[in-house]
Structure formats: structure tokens, C-alpha cells
Amino acid sequence: MRKRRIVFLALAILFMLFVIMGRLMQLQLFATEHFSSRNINLIYESVKQRSHEILINDGRGDFLDASGQPLSYEEKTVLVLFPFLKNIDWDKASLAEIMRISESEISSLIEEADKPFIYGQLTSYEAEQVRALNIPGVIAISKEFPSTNNSAAQLLGLTGENKDEFEKRYPDKKGNTSMKIGITGLQESFDPFLIPENPSKLIFHVDGKGAPLFGIDVKLTGENNPFYPLRVKTTIERNIQDRLEQLIDDHNIVNGGALLLNIETNSIIASASRPTINESAPFSDDGTKNKMFEQHIPGSVFKTVVAAGAIEEELIKDDEVFNCSLDIRGEQAERDLGELKLDESFSRSCNLTFAELAKRLQKEDPNMLEKYASELGLIGNISWKKDLFHFENFKQFSHHQGRIFTEESSRKDLNYVGQTGIGQHEVRVSPLHVANMLATIARGGEMNAIKVASEIQYGDGSIMYKFPDIKVKDSKISPSTFMQLQSLLRHVVSDNEGTGRYFQDLPFEIAGKSGTGETGIFKDEEQLHNKWFAGYFPFKSPKYALVVVNLGVPINEGGVNLLFADIVNMIYEESHDAVEASKPIQ
């Protein structure tokens, strides 16, 4: 009996040893990078536990502006101090002299520190002096910081940590789930190219009491490959972008923004959206939403589509006039405009004319309005999209695609059709699409995909991939119709009673269309409106398409004409300065 107990005890001890050995093998060999259901990287956590480190660069790729300058980050030279300095003798006096502070202040800071810290920013001269001291643990180094001026913030987007989404996107990188990924804007769409491999850190190994483990040398670890991280060169012109942002704030746009498109390349020069991002709680409000890429009620801007369809389908007689003293219900209108032909109806924004023409179009074909909205590039995908490396149908950016009708019954109900003809009821389009429509008209029907990135660069500045211009198609609308649309858009400004007459004295000749969309939302018993002006210029040699919008404002407040004019004047100044700068020195 005693022998049996001894054997049983020996087997139990042996079993426990096997369990312990199995557990150790799991920890040391099999699950070191993805331990437990939480996929903990034990190697990383072990190194982290016995090291002091400070992040210099997280290794994530960045965005550049059109000239190749940093757009999403700022590079600063900073002084880094390590806590082990409290345990060694070093030249505090020289550092204090360079930084213009007392030795006691330096000592106090280091005594309180339990991890490396950035003391402050250095000039290039101060950095040279600090490096000349050659003191271990006193480091002058260049570090990247997120941009502080929020330039094109919603367009560029945000990054963040999301373990589940990280593993979904990058199943081969399990264990590195602390890496940030793009969650909105260009950060999300270009994430596969920007995701970091090896962050750059200043690192110093310590024992359990915080004493040096391998001497007092501080090591810089990180990406040694000069080709990484990658950078995305955008089409954003920084000077125009920053001035555009400032003008929007000067005009108190709190919900809306502006978008500027280069008509020749169909690329975004500047895009600003309000409200701004709340840095402390980004998703607590609409700040992360890019209002330039979202769909809104356009009001009379949509009359451009109705005019295109009516002209192309020959539904207007040459001498036909419309009774613009009546509204779309046949009652006395607020503005007694009298009888107007098409060009005057368009420039003075007569609702009855375009409600009537929309009904004629829909009687011809229930899909007619959507057909012409599509042919003008006002709905559907307009982002640059193409197979790129192993990514099928890679899109530079995501956006709302717009709509004309949501209910089948609406396209056949003439009352709803009349409202649709003036950009109301179920019509929703984005400022991006409106800019694209104007660019398509200005080019005479050539439809191109919109770009916001021109190339992907290696870390050394060489080109990995250059995004080509993509011609989507030539619109099926006839050239003569496009010429008439161009004339109508110009007449909005040249007509002394047109809704764009305010822009007659600008340095560029403007063609465009105003819009006031009724939102159906009331505040203090007053309905709120979306105020638009969308135009292109110079009229005879188009280069820019500009859309400004102020969303959800009372009818007698929040006009955008002054803002549009100020942006045009700013662009003229910028283009004039660029011409002057390019002239050879005499």
C-alpha cells in the first residue's frame, strides 16, 4: 500500500513537472508573440519591462503637400533626458548654460523622472552644442510631431489603435496590435502603404531597480531601410489650403466648408470642412466628418442638370418664356420675376422654369434626371480607382455617391418631380460632386477621376508609384449642349439681375450657380437652409472649380458670396505671386 502511494505521488510530481515544462515551452517557444486569447507579445512586453525608451518616430508613413513638404507632421529638434543621469556624475553646468536654466532646475527634473522625457525644443545651434558635450543620456535629436495647424484635417483623417480591425486588415502581423492604423480619411485609404514596420526609439536597458544593465550608452533603434517608411505626396497646395482654412473661420462657417479643384488635372488643391476635429474626443460630434465629401440638399445648383437634359433632349423652344411670377405650385411667387427665357430663368434662379422642365424630362423617361446627373459627374464614384499592386480597385478616397430619388414612386409623381427639379425633395449631392460637375462642363464633357495624391514615395524621396490621370469617359451629352451650359453659368454672373452678379468685379471671370436648399429642419420656428455657390474660373481658360457651402443657417443669414469672392481674390494673389517668383532675376 505504501509503495502504491509512493508511485502515485511520484507520478503526480512528474505530471506537474510536465505541466510546468509545457507551460514554460508555451511561454518561451510556441506563443511568445501571441500569448493567450489577447495575443500578447511576450517578447515585446519583456523588453518593455526592462527598458527605458522614448518614441522618436512611430514608423508610420506620412503625407506631403504638392511641393513635397510635410503636411501631416512637423519635425522639431528636441532635448531628451534619461533618468539614469541622477546616478552618475556629469556636466550639468554646461547643459544649464546652453538651455539658459539653473543647474538646480535640471537636477530637480531628473530626480522626479522615472522615464525618459523631452525637456524642450532646440535651435540647430543649441543642438550642435548639446551633441558636442557628448554626455550619455543627454540627447539632441530630431523628432516628428503631429501637425498642430489642422490643415486639411478631415481629408487626411485620423489614426488610432483598434486591435480587432488591425488583425482583420493584417492577419500576418498578429502581436503588433499596439500599432496605429488609419481609421478615417486618407489615413484609412492609404493605410496599407503607411502601416509601420519598425518604430524609431531611443532605448536604454535597466535592471529591476532602474540601474544600467549594459552600460550607460543610449541606443537608437528603428527602421534601417532607407526606402521606408513610405510617404504619400498629395495634390494639396499648402499656402492655398492654409489661407482657405483661415478665410472659412474669418467668415464664421461652423458647419460647411470649401473645396477647390484643379480643372486641368481634376485634382484637389484644397479642402476644408467644419466643424473642426475635437482633439480630446474626436468622435463626440461631427468634427471628423468631411462635409465636402458628404451629401447635402443642393437647392438650385441642381438646376444645371435639368438645363442640360432639357437642352439635349430639345424640350425647349427657342423663343419659349416661363411665367416666373408664379411658384412651382402655380401660386404667386415671393419674387415677381415676370416672363423669362431659359438663360434669364437660370441666372435669376426661377423655380417654376426648372420644375416644369424636370416634369417634361421625366415624362420622356422616368430615369432621365439620373441619366443627366450621371453624365455630368454629379453622382456615382468619382475617386481615382484602379488596380494597384495586389490591391484590386484601390480608391484614393471614399465619399458619398449622391442620389436623385430614393423611392420609385417619387420619380413618377409630378409634384415630387417638380421639387426635384429645383434640387429639393430627395436630391442629395456632395460639394466634391458639384466641383466635379463644373470641371466636366468647363472641359466640354471630358470626365476624369478625381485625384488627391500624385505619387507614393520611398523614404529617400524616390518614386514608388506615380498616379496617372484617369479619363473615365467622354460624356454622351453633345458639345453644343456643353457650350450652352457654359454660357448659362457665365450669365449667372454677367446678368445684372443674376444671383452671381456680386462677382462681376473679381480679378477672374466667374461662371457658376448659386443654391439655397431647404432642409426641413427648424430652429426657433425658422427653417434652416444650405447656402451654396459653385463656380469655375477663369471663364475663357478654366483652371479652378470652387464650391463653398454653409449648412443649416437661417434664410437671412450665412450667405457665402463674400467667402467665395475672398477665396477667388486669395487665389489670384497666390497665382500672381507665383508668377512673379518664377521670373528670372534681372
Residue range 416-425, pLDDT digits in tens: 999 999 999 9
Residue range 66-78, pLDDT digits in tens: 999 999 888 889 9
pLDDT-derived band at 47, boundaries 50, 70, 90: very low
The predicted structure's pLDDT at residue 43:
45
pTM of the model as a whole: 0.85
Q: How many CB atoms lie within 10 A of CB 405?
A: 20
Using alpha carbons, select from 92, 145, 137 the residue that is nearest to residue 115.
137
Q: Which of 34-43, 66-75, 200-209, 543-552 has the lowest mean pLDDT?
A: 34-43
Q: Are strands 62-64 and 231-234 parallel, antiparallel or unpaired?
A: parallel
pLDDT-derived band at 44, boundaries 50, 70, 90: very low
Whether the per-residue pLDDT at 468 is higher than 80: the answer is yes
pLDDT-derived band at 213, boundaries 50, 70, 90: very low
Question: In the numeric block, which cell numbers belong to residue 73?
Answer: 507632421
pLDDT-derived band at 51, boundaries 50, 70, 90: low
Expressed in angstroms, the distance from the first to the final Cα of the chain is 112
Whether the per-residue pLDDT at 260 is higher than 80: the answer is yes
CA distance 86 to 522: 64
Residue, of 21 and 154, whose pLDDT is higher: 154
The predicted structure's pLDDT at residue 511:
98
**The CATH number of 238-278+285-582 is which of 3.40.710.10, 3.40.50.1820, 3.10.50.40, 3.10.450.50?**
3.40.710.10
Residue, of 190 and 149, whose pLDDT is higher: 190
Residue range 504-536, pLDDT digits in tens: 999 999 999 999 999 999 999 899 999 999 999
CA distance 264 to 256: 26
Question: In the numeric block, which cell numbers belong to residue 426?
Answer: 430627395
Q: Which of 85-89, 194-198, 325-329 has the lowest mean pLDDT?
A: 194-198
Amino acid letter for position 426: E
Query: Residue 582, exposed/middle/buried by CB under 10 A (0-12, 13-18, 19+)?
Result: exposed
Question: Is 349 among the catalytic positions?
Answer: no
Catalytic residue among 151, 189, 267, 300: 300
Whether the per-residue pLDDT at 432 is higher than 80: the answer is yes
The predicted structure's pLDDT at residue 118:
87
pLDDT-derived band at 336, boundaries 50, 70, 90: very high
DSSP state string for 2-51: HHHHHHHHHHHHHHHHHHHHHHHHIIIIISSSSBTTTTB-HHHHHHHHTE
Cβ-count burial 537-567 (b if 16+ within 10 Å, e if not): bebeebbbbbbbbbbbbeeeebbbbebbbbb
The predicted structure's pLDDT at residue 82:
84
Residue range 271-316, pLDDT digits in tens: 999 999 988 888 888 899 999 999 999 999 999 999 999 999 999 9
- Helix H or strand E segment including 156: helix 153-156
Whether the per-residue pLDDT at 224 is higher than 80: the answer is no
**What residues does each domain of the chain span?**
73-146, 238-278+285-582
